[in-house]
Amino acid sequence: MDIARKIDMLRYKKGWSIYKLSLETGITQSAFANWIAGKSTPSLPNLQAVCEAFGITLANLFAEEGIVEVTPELKPILENWTLLSKTEQESIKLIIENYMNNKQSK
Question: In angstroms, rounded to a whole number, what is the distance separating the alpha carbons of residues 75 and 31?
Answer: 29
Q: H or E stretch including 11?
A: helix 3-14
pLDDT at 30: 95
Higher pLDDT, 99 or 66: 99
Question: Which of the four pLDDT bands, split at 50, 70 and 90, describes residue 70?
Answer: low
How many C-beta neighbours within 10 Å does residue 16 have? 16
pLDDT tens across 8-66, in order?
Answer: 888 988 899 999 999 999 999 999 999 988 899 999 999 999 999 999 888 888 886 65
Confidence of residue 69 (pLDDT cuts 50, 70, 90): low
Residue length of the chain? 106
Q: Which CATH number fits domain 1-69: 4.10.91.20, 3.50.50.60, 3.40.50.1100, 1.10.260.40?
A: 1.10.260.40
User: Which residues fall within 8 angstroms of residue 70, CB to CB, at 6 or more apart?
Assistant: 55, 56, 57, 60, 78
pLDDT at 94 over 70: yes
